[in-house]
Amino acid sequence: MERIRTFAVRHARAFEWVYVRFERALVAMDPLFRRIGYDRLERPVAAVEKLTKGLLFDCRMCGQCVLSSTGMSCPMNCPKTLRNGPCGGVRPGGFCEVKPQMRCVWVMAWEGAARMRGGGQISDVQPPVNRALEGSSSWLRVAREKAAMPGGPTDAPRDTIARAFPRARAHEPAAAPLAPEPLRASDRGVGR
Ligand code: SF4
């Protein structure tokens, strides 16, 4: 829904303001989340996240949200699902090569980033998306990752990706997660 995405990009600065505070609250709640159990929280939180972010950003629930680094334009709406863009095929007027009637998700991302205080993050190279995390909650992942950042890596392949994208991970820790995943986060039924 391009209208939703256009609204998000036009109000990228306001969404950024809200998200910075929301993220702080999520990270602060990590001890509570641990006490309840991330596994138990995964399904209900993913359902709320899907509804909220679907309405506000046309979110596709990739589980590795990078909206703060993409001008509040969800990159998973790019027909090529590029996590770094735009590609070389943007049409005159900023329209998509694959869907000529649609404005390029990445052209919109750069417009949104220009409105944001942290808009420079769009220059961070993002890692490829891990499809195994599709449908799971980015919110919970951010809480786990930010709270666990000083801790050591737990898994060699994930550690390799995290090390390869340090800037992306610094701003968007869910983009290259290291914290152990709760069972339900990789449950393919979540959010579908
Ligand atoms: S980047 Fe992923 S989690 Fe964030 S809005 Fe897009 S699909 Fe949803």
Which of 19, 74, 81, 141 to probe ligand 1 with, by most ligand atoms within 8 A of CB? 74
Q: Worst-scoring range by mean pLDDT, 18-27, 111-120, 124-133, 169-178?
A: 169-178
pLDDT score of 173? 86
For tokens 């993409």, name the residue.
Answer: 70
Radius of gyration of the chain (CA): 16
Task: Count CB atoms within 10 A of the CB of residue 91.
Answer: 14
Q: Is the pLDDT of residue 164 over 80?
A: yes
The residue nearest atom 5 of ligand 1, judged by CA position, is 59
Q: Ligand 1, residue 70: give the atom nearest the CA.
A: 1
Task: Count CB atoms within 10 A of the CB of residue 51.
Answer: 12
Q: Is the pLDDT of residue 72 over 70?
A: yes
Q: Is the pLDDT of residue 113 over 70?
A: yes
The answer to whether 33 and 42 are in contact (CB under 8 A) is no
Contact residues of ligand 1, CB 6 A cut-off: 53, 57, 59-62, 65-67, 74-76, 138
- In this structure, what token pair is assigned to residue 104? 């390029």
Give the distance (Å) from ligand 1 centre to CA of residue 35.
27
